[in-house]
Amino acid sequence: MTRAYRLPLSLLAAGLLSACNLAPQYQRPEPAVPATLDGVAQTLPADFVVEPAAADSLQLLPWQQWVESAGLRQLIEQGLQNNRDLRVAIANIERARAQYGVQRADQLPSLNASAQGSRTRTADDLRSSTAPSTVANQVSVQLGLASYELDFWGRVRNLSEAALQQYLLVEENRRSVQLGLITDIANAWVALASDQQRLQLARDTLATREQGYGLVQRMHQLGATNGLVLAQNETAVETARNDVAAYESQVARDRNALQLLVGGPISGDMLPPAPTASLSSNEVKSAGSGQLLDGATPHVKTPGVATAMTVVPTGLSSQVLLARPDVVAAEHSLQAQYASIGAARAAFFPTISLTANAGTASDALSGLFDGGNRAWSFVPQIRLPIFDGGRNQANLDIAQANRDAALAQYDKAIQVAFREVSDALADRATMQRRLNSQAALVQAASRVLQLSQARFKAGADDFLTVLDAQRSLYAAQQTQITLMQAEQVNRISLYKALGGGIDKQP
């Protein structure tokens, strides 16, 4: 009866031992940030509207749904295919996946088959008197189990888990590179659109000032104005001409930067739409000749920077930050260190390994598989650490220190993520009011210019007043474009700070 239960009990004991895991139990640390991102809004203006949204809504939508411009989507798709940094990240994933496969294979026994044949001749002086011949033949076939470690303490299993977490970490690094590439391309696209608007504004300003300069030239020829006014007009014209040349160069540099990010040539339909003139041709002539009188205001069209991304919803739980690639990568690093502690602890316990061979051997190939020619060997081995000079303890201390460092890095990653979101939300809270205020400033500056032109024509003011009004309007319009660019950049920054959306795996 005892013998009947001996084998099952032995197997049960071996199974229980193999289930031992000396790694500390992992529990995700609580983020050291407020529970909701709405807490950021407590210091924001009361008129800042927080829109409701599910905490995981960002991760459920692909990035394509956040990009409004079809041309920009094509650019990003091309960039994801061609970008060198992303190619390196994908290669790193393949390497980490292979390393994990190597480590995981250690959990399984390794079987090898071998066949061997030999023919030897022994010298007559060395041959035994009973040996029938000086030539001997030997043929053997074996199936062998290489040294296989019985993972009683979870050492191999924890090493495999650490390799898995490292592989997942590298995958999140690829997501970080991809998210950074998407936002870099979007920012470069918005910068190009903004500089195109600045170039168009400079051209409109040059056209207006050239018209005014032509009028002053005629007045000077008729003796209605002096040479100082003519020189002041010429200065204003050349300043505008210089701005046009500078922005033409900047637009070309923006295209080069965008092409470098994309990694290939860019077709025209991928670029931001060409801006329209701020003033119509008739309005340019009227504004330049001073014909807008009696309080009439020249119609200044509001420049518009092309929209890159849709508005990211707010009102999210801070748990959404846990899906950011850098935060997820930090968590995988932390989990890998937990597994490394388990492997380091297992080094204090005995290691049991098995080596076995089974096969047949004969002095002739015809008798290789005869019943009496079977051969086998079974070599269990146990290694018990007795004295190692403190090596195992030092390795455990290293693993625990790495765990503590990874925990600190994880906390830091979450806090950095929360600050980035907080900064983006703080900018967004007042962005619309700043845009509205700047638009009103542009209209007011245009009225000042119109009135100063009328007073100059009537002889009530000198031309310096007109020049100041022109500069003020030009500066206000440039600031308006800068604010519109900042609003688009804020959308992109908030999208990146919240971790972006899902993406197709390579």
Closest CA to 447 of 303, 299, 278, 283: 299
Structure tokens at 460: 């009530």
pLDDT tens profile 136-172: 777 777 777 777 788 888 888 898 999 999 999 999 9
Residues of the chain with pLDDT under 70: 1-19, 33-60, 124-134, 277-305, 312-318, 362-372, 501-506
Beta-carbon count within 10 A of 15 CB: 9
Predicted TM-score of the model (pTM): 0.78
Residue 315: per-residue pLDDT = 60
CA dihedral 423, 426, 432, 434 (to 10 degrees): -90
Report all structural domains of the chain as residue ranges with CATH numbers, in order of start.
16-109+150-188+256-355+395-506 (1.20.1600.10)
Residue 444: per-residue pLDDT = 96
Residue 289: per-residue pLDDT = 43
The phi-psi region of residue 425 (left if phi > 0; otherwise alpha if psi is between -120 and 50; otherwise beta) is alpha
Closest CA to 152 of 295, 346, 299: 346
Residue 378: per-residue pLDDT = 82
Residue 367: per-residue pLDDT = 63
3-state secondary structure 325-389: HHHHHHHHHHHHHHHHHHHHHHCCCCEEEEEEEEEEEECCHHHCCCHHHEEEEEEEEEECCCCCC
Residue 60: per-residue pLDDT = 55
Judged by DSSP in three states, 16 sits in helix
Residue 39: per-residue pLDDT = 46
Residue 459: per-residue pLDDT = 81
